[in-house]
Amino acid sequence: MIAALGLPVRRRPMLAIGTALLLAFLLAALLAPSIAPFDPIAQDGSIRLQPPSLAHPFGTDNFGRDVLSRVIWGARIDLQIAVLGVLFPFLIGTAVGTLAGFFGGWIDALFMRLIDVILAFPFLVLMLSIIAILGPGLTSFYIAMALVGWVSYARLIRAQILVLKTQDFAVAAQSLGFSRTRIMFRHLLPNALAGSLVFVMSDAVLVLLNGAAISYLGLGVQPPLAEWGVMVAEGQAFITTAWWITVFPGLAIVTLAFGFSLLGDALGDLLGVKE
């Protein structure tokens, strides 16, 4: 709270705007059955490729489906992608980084060599390879993100733990005979999480874009489910004649990513994390 009160005035609008954008998408996802004007997968060939109008503010697609309804329902899947896509890597990376940084020795060397092996491959190529082996779908995407994305969190947490375990409070805890588990998870880890929490927001942007790209390539969410990447892929053939099919879901992706970026920047100021 004290840190929040000390936040420069020029930075507070970023926190407010980022929070407002994320809340707007969250409410749209939660209230989709109530606020979406049409069934997102209902097809009507008589109104296919209709431009934006009062009846269909975002127009209709090549199957006569209401684009606005599909964008609203798509918020559910894309928010899920952004949250779960960073949650599992965060948990795995935090655990690995804490163990490697605290114990050091062969445990640290083992995990660091594993990280070096993963980083030797391009991120997207490795993720696509895992999804290709497991088969298309969101479950495969989450597994691929968990197997590849944890390395950044592990390196962040490890670096913080290496510094913190030499501080006076950690040495005092060891002198008092506290268990290693208590020192790691009650004294060191809470103080090491600030950088990772900020990174979560920027990573959510990358996960959101990766999820949309995977769906665009046909390896993520499968039609006819409403997902923004799928909608962009479906509308690419009509970009010159029915631009609204691609533009509106594309704007939704950019706006949600912008909200995460603003919130992450403001959170970095609140927690005193240097950029």
- Greatest mean pLDDT range, 143-152, 161-170, 214-223: 143-152
| Higher per-residue pLDDT: 180 or 274 | 180
Count CB-CB contacts under 10 A for residue 32: 18
Three-class DSSP category at 200: helix
What does the pLDDT look like over 1-60, one tens digit per residue?
334 444 454 557 888 888 899 999 999 999 999 999 999 999 998 999 999 999 999 999
Helices 244-271, 12-30: axis angle to 10 degrees equals 130
Q: Are 207 and 149 in contact (CB under 8 A)?
A: yes
Q: Which amino acid is at 265?
A: D
Q: Does the structure show a pLDDT above 90 at 99?
A: yes
pLDDT at 273: 60
Q: Does the structure show a pLDDT above 70 at 274?
A: no
Q: Percentage of the chain with pLDDT > 70?
A: 94
User: Could you say which DSSP state residue 37 is in?
Assistant: S
pTM of the model: 0.86
For residue 96 the two structure tokens come to: 């690995």
- Cβ contacts of residue 9 below 8 Å, gap of 6+? none
What does the pLDDT look like over 137-157, one tens digit per residue?
899 999 999 999 999 999 999
Residue whose token pair is 């029915």: 242
